[in-house]
Structure 1
Amino acid sequence: MIIGLTGGIASGKSTVSIILTKLGLPVVDADKIARQVVEQGEPAYKEIVKYFGTEILDSHGNLNRKQLGTLIFSDPKEREVLNNIVHPAVRKKMIEQKDTYLQQGYHHIVLDIPLLFESKLTHMVEKTLLIYVDEKKQLERLIMRDHAGKEDAERRISSQMPLKDKVLLADGVIDNNGSLSKTKEQLVNILRAWNIPINEKT
């Protein structure tokens, strides 16, 4: 089974991803791949610099992710341009990694895709698993995690589909407002319900 893991910014998806790995499920991480495809020399990197200009680069010629992030989170059109450059490159590499795991004999693979619903990528997976937190907790976590101002954090959250809307689309939902043990318990129960074998020793 191919599982699509998703959530929202600062919802705790990375934590669940780590637990899944410990339970014996390989995770293909879209965020990690997104960083790889925009490294210097990569086709997506060249397209980004061509469109946005060299002012979004740091002194070493790498993408200044924070500066680029601020630009696209405040402008939906610019965000769409960036997504149209980066997303196809990310999808290609995700499929390659998934196929490698299948060749290695894995039967169940997790695709960690933050914008699974927004980017209409549910066709890539058989089940969708959403990590949910309420809006207040999401805002608090994002401000603490990124040392962001309240306004900046709110803008980043509002650039994504609200988690309460994603709940209606997901096959499985983990409420991550509580403790880590509660989150893991919910995850294990969902995997068992889907008949996915896990490493019980973890």
Structure 2
Amino acid sequence: MRVGLTGGIATGKSTVSSMFEDHGAVIIDADQIAREVVEPGSKGAQKVEEEFGEQVFFSDGSLNRAALGEIIFRNQSLRRKLNQILHPLIMDEMELRTQRILKENKHKIVFWDVPLLIEENLTNFVEKVIVVYIPEPVQLKRLMKRNDLTEEEARRRINAQMSIEEKKRYADFLIDNSGTLENTERQVDQIWNCLKLKNGFSQQ
């Protein structure tokens, strides 16, 4: 079974992902793969340099994410261009890993942890969609605190994604992460049990 896990920036998706992993889910993290496909000397790094120049790389050839982020969060067309470069590389690797896992054990529940699952129209690749949700005012405060951003900087990053209120509409399962950790864990437990039933296999 394939499950898509998504949310907005600073909604706590990584925390929820770890909880599902503790239950036995196999997590394929799109952000992690996105880092791997732009490692020094890779095809992805070469394409990014051709489009954005040497200034978005450190002297050792590794990607300067802060410099690149500053560019793409200010310019929607450049953000789209970066996605067009990286998206196919990330998708190919995610699909390859998923097939490998399910070939070894068809009863595994594989989570695609993808921030832009909905924006990039990837919901057709998964059987269920889980959205990690917090209200936008809470999202703003958490992002400002987490990344030490001004309100304007935080709003710009939030606005670069689809509104979390809009994402709610795509959810087969919604996890409200605005309360206590225990409350989030209870929701994760309930959803995991439901997924196991739908998958037709009771994992130990």
Fold agreement, TM-score > 0.5: yes
Does the CA-based 8 Å contact 1:25-1:198 persist in structure 2?
no
Match of 1:47 in 2: 47
Quick one: which amino acid aligns to residue 52 of structure 1? F
User: Do residues 12 (structure 1) and 8 (structure 2) align?
Assistant: no
User: Do residues 60 (structure 1) and 60 (structure 2) align?
Assistant: yes
Gaps in structure 2 of 5+ consecutive residues: none
Relative to structure 1, the CA distance from residue 16 to residue 106 in structure 2 (aligned partners, 3 Å threshold; closer, same or farther) is: farther
d(CA) in 2 for partners of 1:198, 1:17:
17
Quick one: which amino acid aligns to residue 122 of structure 1? T
d(CA) in 1 for partners of 2:176, 2:51:
40
d(CA) in 2 for partners of 1:91, 1:128:
17
d(CA) in 2 for partners of 1:24, 1:190:
13
Does the CA-based 8 Å contact 2:55-2:67 persist in structure 1?
no
- After superposition, give the CA deviation of every residue in 1:66-112 in whole Å (9 maximum; x if it has no partner): 11011001100000110000111000110111112112215211110
Shift of 1:3: 0.4
Does the CA-based 8 Å contact 1:131-1:175 persist in structure 2?
yes
Does the CA-based 8 Å contact 1:58-1:64 persist in structure 2?
yes
User: Do residues 190 (structure 1) and 187 (structure 2) align?
Assistant: no
Shift of 1:187: 1.3
Quick one: which amino acid aligns to residue 134 of structure 2? V
Does the CA-based 8 Å contact 1:39-1:62 persist in structure 2?
yes
d(CA) in 2 for partners of 1:70, 1:23:
37
SS of 1:167's equivalent in the other structure is helix
Shift of 1:152: 1.0
Superposition map of 1:98-113 within 5 A: 98-107=98-107, 108-113=109-114
Superposition map of 1:143-182 within 5 A: 143-182=144-183
- After superposition, give the CA deviation of every residue in 1:7-47 in whole Å (9 maximum; x if it has no partner): 01110000011111100111000000000001111111101
Superposition map of 1:64-79 within 5 A: 64-79=64-79
Superposition map of 1:87-166 within 5 A: 87-107=87-107, 108-166=109-167
Relative to structure 1, the CA distance from residue 161 to residue 31 in structure 2 (aligned partners, 3 Å threshold; closer, same or farther) is: same
d(CA) in 1 for partners of 2:93, 2:70:
26
Does the CA-based 8 Å contact 2:30-2:114 persist in structure 1?
yes
SS of 1:168's equivalent in the other structure is helix
Quick one: which amino acid aligns to residue 111 of structure 1? W
Shift of 1:61: 2.1
d(CA) in 1 for partners of 2:165, 2:82:
26
SS of 1:61's equivalent in the other structure is coil
d(CA) in 2 for partners of 1:103, 1:130:
27
SS of 2:51's equivalent in the other structure is helix
Gaps in structure 1 of 5+ consecutive residues: none
Match of 1:36 in 2: 36
Relative to structure 1, the CA distance from residue 198 to residue 114 in structure 2 (aligned partners, 3 Å threshold; closer, same or farther) is: farther
Quick one: which amino acid aligns to residue 173 of structure 1? L
Shift of 1:198: 5.3
